[in-house]
Amino acid sequence: MISLLDILKRIDDGSLTPAGAIAQALEAVTLAEPAIGAFTHIDAAAAAPVSAGPLRGVAIGVKDIIDVAGMPTRMGSPIYDDSTARADAAIVALARRSGATILGKTTTTPFAFLDPTSTRNPHDHSYSPGGSSAGSAAAVGAGMVPLAIGTQTGGSVIRPASYCGVAAVKPSFRILPTVGVKCYSWSLDTPGLFAATIADVAYALAALSQRAELRLPGDEGQESGADLRIGVLTQGFAGPPEDDAAAAVDAAIKAIEARGARVIPVIEAPELAVAFDAHGTVQDFEVAQALAWEYDNHRDALPPILRQALDEAQHIPVEEYDAARRAASRARKAWAQMAEHFDAALTFSSPGAAPASLSTTGNSRFNRLWTLVGAPCVNIPGFLNAAGMPVGVQIVARFGRDDKALRAAAFVEKALRAPL
């Protein structure tokens, strides 16, 4: 993988130019893309990058539900085969203002739901890359681009990051704008970022959100764990993890304790379990409206899993939706109270390693609650199972404390790399 901070350091010391960095990314795409299939569109004119800004020389892949002016926005669906965006989505405009170069559009599952893409996992091409941000995670994991943008409605940033072995952040709700992003659920959809390291995603998030405090100190994170309190969440309401995921969290706990941080078992408030069950109601009620035109006019062109979900979503009573929203509100308050007792919490990023099949995107059950309550989430790579496939661990924090989530994640990342 390519670290965007390494690219920027080389640009600063004069050993690389922004144009040279973009040319390297284009070359990497040429070599890896035939085997991975992470892109739906590549901009051949990207060799003329901006030479100023915090993300100068950084090539970005953008999930294909996000508008990029002059590029197609196909949304993984034949319904939009002839669609070309006339304007940049807000997050793309922010990336350009920061000096980044949009290299192309990355694959998405149709309308960012569960019907899989043809993208392959960069660690083993017979394994799922996850979804719905499959292309963004795989493009970073294969070393094609140092930064990619995705979105998460259930687990579509953290899960594919775990499967593809890359760092990722799903920030607090609405820190990054969704204007110009095809809506699935307006209460849940959240843009997120993929990169090689936690310092990389922290730097990029700081640049795009205009929140300098999110950058890690020295871009290296916290060295000592003496004052760090890490809660441990099992998310029992989501079901048991597979052995690989459990082993990854156990390894992280041992590494955290070895570096002096305090590990705190967390008793999960009952409101979290209720909200976990409510996520699907909120999502499905809203998508029945968000994709109303596609359903009413092109139902037969929708892929089977999405079509069935939309068939069922037409019948959700508004009273059930309102009750689910109230459950989410109670869970936000309960999580805020729980999070007062630790700096951030460690939990599973995914049920296990990527499924050994391209016919599934995996399961988002360890991600949904945190999307619903709008909490910042960070995937930390660093654990490989016996088959050599990556399994991430997840850090979550209180809403609005993305700084704590990123600093704790950087600490855990370093701890996992250090010998015990």
> What domains can be seen in the chain, in order of their start residue?
4-219 (3.90.1300.10)
Could you report the per-residue pLDDT of 294-317, keeping only the tens digit for each? 999 999 999 999 999 999 999 999
pLDDT confidence of residue 217 = 83
User: What are the structure tokens assigned to 236, written together?
Assistant: 């029992």
Element (H, E) at 198: helix 198-209
Q: Is 51 helix (H, G, I), strand (E, B) or coil?
A: coil
- Cα 105 to chain centroid distance, Å, stands at 16
State residue 225's pLDDT score: 81
Pairing relation of β-strands 147-152 and 167-170?
unpaired
Of all residues in the chain, the percent with pLDDT exceeding 70 is 98
**Catalytic residue of the set 156, 162, 185, 364:** 156
Strand-pair partners of 344: 230
Exactly one of 132, 162, 172, 349 is catalytic; name it.
132
pLDDT value of residue 218: 67
Give the active site residue among 63, 170, 404, 414: 63
Establish whether 63 is a catalytic residue. Answer: yes
Closest of 57, 35, 60, 37 to residue 48, by C-alpha: 57
> Would you call 172 a catalytic residue per the annotation?
no
For 36-81, write each residue's pLDDT tens digit.
999 999 998 877 788 899 999 999 999 999 999 999 999 999 999 9
User: What is the mean pLDDT of the segment spanning 91-100?
Assistant: 98
Distances (CA, A) of 292 to 183, 220, 285, 301, 392: 11, 46, 11, 14, 36
Band (pLDDT 50/70/90 cuts) for residue 219 is very low
Helix, strand counts (H, E) of the chain: 13, 11
Q: Tell me if residue 132 is catalytic.
A: yes
Tokens of 197: 């390291």
